[in-house]
Structure 1
Amino acid sequence: MSKRITSKYKLDRRMGENIWGRPKSPVNRREYGPGQHGQRRKGKLSDFGIQLRAKQKLKGYYGNITEKQFKRTYHEATRMKGDAGENFIGLLERRLDAVIYRAKFVPTVFSARQFISHGHVLVNGKRVTIPSYRVRVGDVIEVRERMRQHPIVLEASQSAERDMPDYIEVDHSKMKASFVRVPALADVPYPVQMEPNLIIEFYSR
């Protein structure tokens, strides 16, 4: 399991955006970057800088994805038919940690990874402990019975902080979700604008 080695809210402040749309993000109070030089006016970014920023934002949004995993996903997306940027988003949204976060079984994408690693999630009735496991259309994802009444799970499922997308059907009374279809970029409820095509350009340089 890879470990997050930087503060998640530092990423918010470095990007100057509330990436996860959380009410307690420090960006809501301080839009400038962290550190003693955070308030200095930033110069205009180069094309490379814009592409790098887009990559850091999307990679950070999904929590603990390593650079190796992220780049491997890019290579897969470019080998698929259709728009590489759309394919890239579709592959990221098929990650098991992303699906249980979207289904509101956990409060954050970071807790999603831990929740899966600890064996609290079943896919088609079988326990899966790999956060990067790729869900297929029609798969049924559920919280193990002993965890369904856990305060964290109940609080996340009742939270009005974020919306559930229509490509995942959820029954919170049974803590079950089914993956209906692979989403396009426009279907994914990102709190901020994501630009996967800039990431494709970054890696294809």
Structure 2
Amino acid sequence: MRDANIFAFRKAMPRMSWSPRNLYNLWKRSCGAEAEAINFTRSPKTLFQQRWISKALVRAYHGDFINEKIFKRWYLPDTLPDVRPRQHALYSNGDLDAFAGRTEQLERAKKRAYDEQKKGLAPVGSLMLAEVERRIDVFIFRCCFAHSVYEARRLVIHGSVLLNGKKHTDANTRLAPGDMISVDPAAIRFLQNPESSKAEPEGEQPSDSELKTESSDLSQSMPSVKLAPTKSSLTPFNLPPYASPFIFIPAYAEVSFPTCSAIYVRHPTARPGYSEIPTPYDADGEVIRLAWEWYSKMRPRTRSKSQMAREPENRRVGGH
């Protein structure tokens, strides 16, 4: 984390965090005072300035804790993949297609063509950040095990995370499909009692003794009715303030909250009208496209043997 004041209101750069200050910056960039600053349709800024601003905003959210040289060398794809389905020839003779058994394929092709015409092409611009989503610290944050990606990074470094059953302390590791991560429940702040609950005034909530007496009275009056578990018998789960807009799980993650573990199922992808990579900007909008144009011109092209030896861990095959 290069900048100590990452939630500064003056810059208003969204980050991977559930902090209320970050929520305000996200609102400010989405529909607040800074929303027009990223609308480059009619902008007096030069193309270089537009690319620079877009690159700074994208990097602020997607991996501001990664060194810029390392990000350009190892976390950017050579080209953006084409996720559009292959077009099959549409034959006009329906009887011949039915005889050859091509009716189902034709229906699929027509449906894909209709989806592309209605929803547009797949937003492949966001796939430039697929390698960042593979990082173990980003994956922990996506699975809602940490309040921010910075906290998830500390969990990994301090040894509170297991990768396929073994302690793993390298936060730069990129996961492979099938990898399972497990987080120590004692290190998850969601499962800890917040300090604000201790300062609640008396009289608002009944005490444990009152709950026990009430439950015993109910059990005596209605012995055949099974009572629901009391509040003290449940696992405490305390969300941070203003967290409801951020509680979501990406499609490439299979999370088990009872065991505090998750499986990286596959690499994120995109389809017409939908991108699996969460981002505060349009998945194929101006900001993402201009950032890609910046990096496509400024990224290093050659990798020597010494540079290859310093590559962050990139797992190819997952396993338990």
TM-score bracket for this pair, using the shorter chain length: 0.7 to 0.9
The residue correspondences of 1:52-63 to structure 2 (distance < 5 A) are 52-61=52-61, 62-63=63-64
Give the TM-score normalised by the residue count of structure 2: 0.51
Which amino acid letter does the alignment assign opposite residue 124 of structure 1?
A: N
Cα 1:107–1:156 change in 2 (3 A) is farther
2:255 matches 1:170: yes
2:70 matches 1:69: yes
Aligned length: 191
Structure with larger Rg: 2
SS in structure 1 opposite 2:155?
helix
Cα 1:201–1:166 change in 2 (3 A) is same
Which stretch of structure 1 is more off in the superposition, 117-126 or 51-60? 51-60
Which stretch of structure 1 is more off in the superposition, 43-52 or 124-133? 43-52
SS in structure 1 opposite 2:254?
strand
The residue correspondences of 1:90-105 to structure 2 (distance < 5 A) are 90-105=130-145
Gaps of 5+ in 1: 34-42
Which amino acid letter does the alignment assign opposite residue 5 of structure 2?
A: S
Say which of 277, 281, 287 aligns to 1:192. Answer: 281
C-alpha displacement of 1:44: 2.8
Which stretch of structure 1 is more off in the superposition, 51-60 or 154-163? 154-163
Cα 1:156–1:90 change in 2 (3 A) is farther
Q: Kindly report the root-mean-square deviation, in angstroms, between the aligned alpha carbons of the 2 structures.
A: 3.3
> Residue by residue, what CA displacement relative to the aligned partner does 1:71-122 show, whole Å, maximum 9, x if unpaired?
11355x1068658845422111101111000000101112111111111111
Which stretch of structure 1 is more off in the superposition, 178-187 or 90-99? 178-187
Q: Aligned partners of 2:161, 2:150: CA distance in 1, in Å?
A: 15
The residue correspondences of 1:150-165 to structure 2 (distance < 5 A) are 151=192, 154-155=237-238, 159-162=243-246, 163-165=248-250
The residue correspondences of 1:25-174 to structure 2 (distance < 5 A) are 25=22, 26-27=24-25, 28=27, 44-61=44-61, 62-75=63-76, 77-78=77-78, 82=82, 85-144=125-184, 146-147=186-187, 151=192, 154-155=237-238, 159-162=243-246, 163-174=248-259
Q: Aligned partners of 1:145, 1:58: CA distance in 2, in Å?
A: 32
CA contact (8 A) 1:80 1:87 kept: yes
C-alpha displacement of 1:24: 3.2
Cα 1:121–1:130 change in 2 (3 A) is same
CA contact (8 A) 2:80 2:128 kept: no
CA contact (8 A) 1:105 1:156 kept: no
> Residue by residue, what CA displacement relative to the aligned partner does 1:53-82 show, whole Å, maximum 9, x if unpaired?
22212221134111022111355x106865
C-alpha displacement of 1:22: 5.1
Q: Aligned partners of 2:187, 2:69: CA distance in 1, in Å?
A: 32
> Residue by residue, what CA displacement relative to the aligned partner does 1:25-60 show, whole Å, maximum 9, x if unpaired?
343579558xxxxxxxxx732212222222212221
C-alpha displacement of 1:4: 2.9
CA contact (8 A) 2:161 2:184 kept: yes
Q: Which residue of 1 aligns with 2:293?
A: 201
Structure possessing the higher relative contact order (Cα contacts under 8 Å, 6 or more residues apart) = 2
Which stretch of structure 1 is more off in the superposition, 100-109 or 87-96? 87-96
Identical pairs, percent: 27
SS in structure 1 opposite 2:244?
coil
